[in-house]
Structure 1
Amino acid sequence: MSMLVVKEKLKQKMPASFPVRRMDYQFQEVPKYWCNNEPTFTHYFTGLSTLFPEGESYFVRSVRALREKIKNNPQLDRDIGAFIGQEAMHSKEHHAFHVSAQQYGLAPESLEKATGIILKAIEKTFPKKWNLLVTVGLEHYTAVLVVEMMKNVNELMTDTNIRNLWLWHSIEETEHKAVAYDMYESLYGKGLDAYIPRVAIFTFNLVLITLLSNVYQVVLMSRDKQLLNLKSWAKFAGFTVHVYRKLVPQFFSYYHFDFHPNDTDESEIVTKTKIKIGLSTEQSTFMH
């Protein structure tokens, strides 16, 4: 047997570093204000959720566009396969939430479509390297957010299925948080010519996601005829100041020249969260 055949067989047996879970949440009889019993909180997280179906499809396309170039790194290639599997499942479940959980005339699917139009325009305008960097940066942004989701924010969610959707998603974001980054580093290295576009695109990411998440919240508040609910806005403002005081320094760690997603360790909170949603003894399907 040739060495090439042996290597190929070993590659085929090599598992990804994390599993792809097949989820099928059912969203029925969802309360109108399922987050902190407040319209501002509920509509903020619904608006954030509407970024995911199209956003994660974009992430998948961005890594697929360059995947052939890292075939000489079989472990990373396997992890990219699992990353694609997890992201596809996130898109599916969040879309199901938008379809079946919102029965109050808020039409969150329209915000999904708007996100898709924006991302497809970015995708056509940017070269493949920059599209990958959008994914790398937003993966870091999400990885920071989900830790706070697992620690505290999920406690505000009064619907069990929606809470479990966000917690499952949070677990998987921590599992694959370094995949796109490692792909970028494998392709473009660690030098200044890799660093400068990395932080420039991340700055673009911060503006884009802040703008979209806030605009979508306002749109949903308007559709719900709650735009002038000043009491709810005041509660949300207090929450935002408290949370983002902790998050902003973590977002900005991305600007460090020697940054890597695995600089932080979320294993303890992930273990607790798995127990909380019944994944502690999971039988997971790995992507092969």
Structure 2
Amino acid sequence: MEPILDSSQLFITALGFFLAAIVISAFRILREYERGVIFLLGRFYKVKGPGLIIVIPIIQQMVRVDLRTVVMDVPSQDVISRDNVSVRVNAVLYFRVIDSQKAIINVEDYLAATSQLAQTTLRSVLGQHDLDEMLASREMLNADIQGILDARTDGWGIKVSNVEIKHVDLNESMIRAIARQAEAERARRAKVIHASGEMEASDKLVEAANKLAAEPNAILLRYLQTLTEIAGEKNSTILFPMPFDLLKGLFTGGKEGGGKDGADKQ
């Protein structure tokens, strides 16, 4: 009888340990940023957490879901712009799970699915814009990509909060072409500014000529002022042109004065 009792006690002890292990394994602890999707006999039951939860072994299964924001680096993509320029573009994606049930049930692997969707969306959106828009309007492109990804991942329980294009890599020939284009643009602006200055200066010269023509003595004063400025310089020889209109005014003034004197004498 003793061997039988020993075997029965051993069985009871093993059964006690087994039941204790099952009870202990039924308790799960989920952190504040985690949720547990519970399946009952293969069917969705509920979402539990955070804190201490109970999962009945064998009957129920739990899948952990992290609700923190995921920072995903989108690999470099070969993109052909609308003006047929080949570039390599990479970006960074920020998203998080807002519905644990959809993230587990509606898609097999939401991380891989979001990564592939981000790559294809990046290529398709950038392919609809010119190279200048890629370089100068990144905020607009980021908003377009973010809106498309957010709409497509809504059925997966994922919220795309931000998309940032990091680098737009160009080949050496295109970099040189852009540099020549920028140099030509600056030269064009310089010529336009110079022409505008010449036009303003000509308008001022015409205005000054009209004022001098309205007053006969003004040209004489301007002539004397210019002569004074030249005389101030230490030059041995001064060649100064005499305006014909000035001489004509002097001769006309002398004749008029002589005529008046003759009239007085008479």
Normalised-by-shorter TM-score class: under 0.3
Query: Whose radius of gyration is greater, 1 or 2?
Result: 2
Q: Which has the higher helix share?
A: 1
Higher relative contact order (CA 8 A, sep 6+): 1
Q: Which has the higher strand share?
A: 2
TM-score by length of structure 1 reads 0.22
